[in-house]
Structure 1
Amino acid sequence: MLIYKIFRAPEWAELQKNGETAGAPIDLTDGYIHFSGADTVAKTAALYFADAENLILVAVESDGLSDLVWEESRGGALFPHLFRKLTMSDVSWHRPLLFVDGIHQFPADL
C-alpha cells in the first residue's frame, strides 16, 4: 500500500541532495516522520499546508518498510509514522502537488 508525505520544496531538495532526511520541522520535534494514507492526505494538505505552493507529493510503499508504525491520530484515523530517516530508495514516486484556485490538486489515481 502506498503512503504519502507532503514536502515543501526545500525539504524535498534536501532529501534529493543528501539521499535521506529526518523530515520536516514537525517530524524532528515529534521524533518520527509523519505520513498520510490515500484517505487522509488531502485533509492533511488542507490543515497543514492550506496556502502553501510548490509542494511535492511523495509516495512510499509501506509493505515491508522497516520502522513504520500505524498510530491513531486525527479523528481516530490511523496514520503511518516512520521511526527512522526516509531515504530516496524508499520513494516510489514523486509529483508536484498543484495548487489551483486555493486548492491542492491530487492525482486521480490515489
Structure 2
Amino acid sequence: MTDDVIYRFADPAVLGAAALSGSYEGEAHDQADGFIHCSARHQLEGTLAAHFEGVERVALAVIDAKALGGSLKWEKSRGGELFPHIYGALPFAAIMSVHILRRDDTGGWRLPEEL
C-alpha cells in the first residue's frame, strides 16, 4: 500500500497527553498487540462500527504516512484486508491534524468532510 495519509482513532485524553510528551505510544490493546492500529480512509467507518460501540467521543488523528518511514507496515487484519500498523511510538510531529468526533442525533458517527 502507498497511502500518503493514514488515520488513528484514540481516546482524546490519551492523545492530548501525547501532544505534551511528543509521541503517542498507543493504548492498552495496541501495547498488547505490539503495534499501533491505524486505518486507511476507506476503512474509517468500519473501524468505528467494529471498535467504538458505546463510545460517545473519540479523537481522529490524521497522520503523514511518509513521516513514519519503516515503522509503518501494511498487514492483513479484519477480513483479510490490509491495515496500516505502526511499530514503535508515533511521533506527534507526524500528526497533521486531530478531529474530535461525537455521535450525531441518530447515534451514528459523522466524519469530517475535509477527509
TM-score normalised by L of structure 2: 0.88
Q: Secondary structure at the match of 1:109?
A: coil
Hey, what does 1:28 align to over in structure 2? 31
More strand, by proportion: 1
Question: 1: CA distance between counterparts of 2:113 and 2:16?
Answer: 25
More helix, by proportion: 2
Structure 1 unaligned blocks of 5 or more = none
Hey, what does 1:88 align to over in structure 2? 92
User: RMSD of aligned C-alpha atoms?
Assistant: 1.3
Q: Secondary structure at the match of 1:97?
A: strand
Structure 2 unaligned blocks of 5 or more = none
Percent identity of equivalent pairs: 29
Question: How many residues end up aligned between the 2 structures?
Answer: 110
TM-score normalised by L of structure 1: 0.92
Q: Does 1:105 align with 2:110?
A: yes
Q: Secondary structure at the match of 2:109?
A: strand
Q: Does 1:58 align with 2:44?
A: no
Runs of 4+ in 1 over 3 A off after TM superposition: none
